[in-house]
């Protein structure tokens, strides 16, 4: 137990610089009820290399942080620059909460080529809470910084007034975030903004050839996550050129939002906003039982807006491959998918199954499986390769598909 009302890092404060400077904390170390007025209730970690081609590491293994509080980064606040490396494994963040700002469990600000963050092998965020962004984790990744998460669980995490009940991520200038191999979001909630499980803004720099990216792959799960008043019950992402978003082998079930239950840019499951020369793909994914709660909510499974640049032909692309969207419902339009395409963009759906999806509004319920607005110049919707619509219904027009051309 520790309380520090003036400084940062109530449990541990560490500044690291120089070649091969390292910190290791392991062996069932506990930080309990640590409280800081500013940053890092449990730990505050600052790493900056003192010269070119230098690196240092911070390792936390079998560490428990419980009931810690701070303004930012209640469990851990970490600022990493220029080849700093942070690894957290076999560790727990339990009931950590911010007093006013971001990162209920963990706050990460990472920049520079060679800067890497790894959360691996049984890391748990249990009922962490932020007043603003990132109920469990708030992260900024830019200038080639990388973050890799596998074997991580988020249970009952909450953002009260900000974005991202589980994770809020800002990925810029060739930054990369990869979630894979058994990452679970269960019952995470965003009370007032967007993204019950994940909120992400992904953008690049046109002068840099390497794109910023967000990737979810190989057994990522969103179960019963919720955006209570806005969009993206499971995932909310805004992606701008030059950047990529890839979702594969992911399962989203029972997620809800005002609009876009599973994935979306206003969505129950997913809400995605794609802007200019972005490539976005969903493959080998199941979106089941997601829904919009608002009377005008669109996109029970997926809500997406795709914005081209009105210059290059069909340069902004959303591909949906070998994906099942089942028993998803919207009170507005697009029980399975709602998509709006603007200026030289395309949506290609291959070998997808829409089963039991419904657009339920008696006044505007169109497109039980898909509602597509492709009325803008040069846009293309292609549905091919054995895609199926099974028992999809709407209260108005287009039980399977409604297209506004």
User: Distance between CA 156 and CA 158 in Å, rounded?
Assistant: 7
pLDDT at 208: 74
Q: In the numeric block, which tokens belong to residue 111?
A: 């920049």
How does residue 30 score in pLDDT terms, banded at 50, 70 and 90? Answer: very high
**How large is the average pLDDT for residues 166-179?**
98
Percent of the chain with pLDDT over 90: 74
213: pLDDT strictly greater than 80: yes
pLDDT at 368: 97
Q: In the numeric block, which tokens belong to residue 189?
A: 């909630």
How does residue 405 score in pLDDT terms, banded at 50, 70 and 90? Answer: confident
Give the C-alpha distances (Å, rounded to integers) separating 101 from 115, 138, 141: 25, 10, 18
Give the C-alpha distances (Å, rounded to integers) separating 303 from 79, 272, 290: 34, 6, 12
27: pLDDT strictly greater than 60: yes
53: pLDDT strictly greater than 70: no
- pLDDT, one tens digit per residue, over 340-388 is 988 778 899 999 999 999 998 888 889 999 999 998 777 889 999 999 9
Cross-strand partners of 205: none
- Residue tagged 């701008």 (tokens): 240
Of 257, 284, 286, the C-alpha closest to 272 is: 257
pLDDT at 264: 45
266: pLDDT strictly greater than 60: no
Q: In the numeric block, which tokens belong to residue 51?
A: 């010269």
**How large is the average pLDDT for residues 167-173?**
97
Give the pairing of strands 116-126 and 84-89: parallel
314: pLDDT strictly greater than 70: no
How does residue 310 score in pLDDT terms, banded at 50, 70 and 90? Answer: low
User: Distance between CA 226 and CA 40 in Å, rounded?
Assistant: 27
Among left, alpha and beta (phi > 0; psi -120 to 50; other), residue 222 is beta
pLDDT at 263: 55
**Stretch among 25-34, 53-62, 100-109, 351-360 having the lowest mean pLDDT:** 53-62
Burial (0-12, 13-18, 19+ Cβ within 10 Å), 98: buried
- Is-cis flag, bond preceding 242, omega within 30? yes
Give the domain ranges of the chain. Answer: 2-404
User: Distance between CA 219 and CA 153 in Å, rounded?
Assistant: 12
CA dihedral 247, 250, 253, 255 (to 10 degrees): -30
Q: In the numeric block, which tokens belong to residue 131?
A: 């007043």
Higher pLDDT, 60 or 7: 60
Give the three-class secondary structure for 164: coil
pLDDT at 400: 96
Sign of dihedral through CA atoms 152, 36, 25, 115?
positive
How does residue 200 score in pLDDT terms, banded at 50, 70 and 90? Answer: very high
Average pLDDT, the chain: 91
User: Distance between CA 88 and CA 13 in Å, rounded?
Assistant: 17
Question: Which stretch, 54-58, 211-215, 256-260, has highest mean pLDDT?
Answer: 211-215
DSSP character at residue 278 = -
**How large is the average pLDDT for residues 266-272?**
82
**How large is the average pLDDT for residues 239-246?**
90
Give the C-alpha distances (Å, rounded to integers) separating 229 from 69, 162, 242, 364: 26, 11, 30, 21
Give the pairing of strands 345-350 and 380-384: parallel
User: Distance between CA 58 and CA 155 in Å, rounded?
Assistant: 25
Of 87, 257, 34, 69, the C-alpha closest to 165 is: 257
Statement: the pTM of the whole predicted model exceeds 0.85: yes
Contact by Cβ (8 Å): 136, 105? yes
Contact by Cβ (8 Å): 257, 232? yes
260: pLDDT strictly greater than 80: no
Burial (0-12, 13-18, 19+ Cβ within 10 Å), 394: buried
pLDDT at 265: 39
């Amino acid at each position: 137990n520790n309380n520090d009302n003036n400084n940062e890092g109530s449990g541990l404060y560490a500044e690291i610089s120089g070649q091969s400077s390292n910190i290791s904390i392991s062996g069932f170390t506990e930080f309990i009820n640590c409280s800081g007025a500013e940053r890092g209730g449990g730990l505050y970690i600052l790493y900056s290399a003192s010269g070119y081609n230098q690196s240092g590491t911070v390792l936390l293994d079998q560490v428990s942080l419980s009931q810690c509080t701070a303004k930012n980064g209640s469990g851990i606040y970490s600022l990493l620059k220029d080849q700093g490396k942070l690894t957290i494994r076999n560790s727990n963040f339990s009931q950590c909460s911010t007093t006013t700002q971001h990162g209920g469990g963990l706050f990460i600000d990472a920049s520079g080529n060679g800067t890497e963050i790894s959360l691996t092998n049984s890391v748990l965020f249990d009922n962490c809470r932020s007043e603003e962004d990132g109920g469990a984790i708030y992260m900024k990744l830019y200038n080639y910084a990388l973050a890799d998460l596998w074997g991580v669980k988020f249970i009952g995490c909450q953002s009260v007034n900000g974005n991202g009940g589980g994770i809020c991520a800002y990925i810029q200038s060739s930054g990369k975030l990869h979630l894979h191999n058994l990452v679970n979001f269960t019952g995470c909630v965003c009370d007032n903004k967007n993204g019950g499980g994940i909120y992400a803004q992904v953008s690049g720099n046109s002068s840099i050839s390497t794109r910023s990216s967000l990737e979810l792959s190989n057994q990522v799960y969103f179960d019963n996550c919720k955006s209570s008043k806005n969009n993206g019950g499971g995932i909310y992402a805004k992606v701008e050129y030059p950047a990529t978003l890839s979702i594969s082998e992911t399962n989203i079930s029972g997620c809800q939002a005002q609009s876009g239950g599973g994935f979306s840019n206003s969505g129950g499951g997913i809400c995605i906003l794609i802007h200019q020369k972005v490539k976005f793909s969903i493959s080998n994914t199941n979106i089941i039982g997601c829904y919009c709660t608002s009377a005008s909510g669109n996109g029970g499974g997926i809500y997406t807006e795709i914005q081209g640049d009105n210059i290059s032909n069909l340069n902004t692309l959303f591909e949906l491959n070998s994906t099942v969207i089942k028993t998803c419902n919207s009170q507005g339009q697009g029980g399975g998918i709602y998509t709006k395409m603007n200026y030289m963009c395309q949506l290609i759906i291959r070998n997808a199954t829409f089963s039991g999806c419904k657009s339920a509004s008696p006044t505007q319920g169109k497109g039980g499986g898909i509602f597509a607005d492709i009325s803008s110049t040069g846009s293309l919707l292609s549905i091919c390769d054995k895609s199926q619509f099974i028992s999809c219904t709407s209260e108005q027009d287009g039980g399977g598909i409604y297209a506004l051309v």
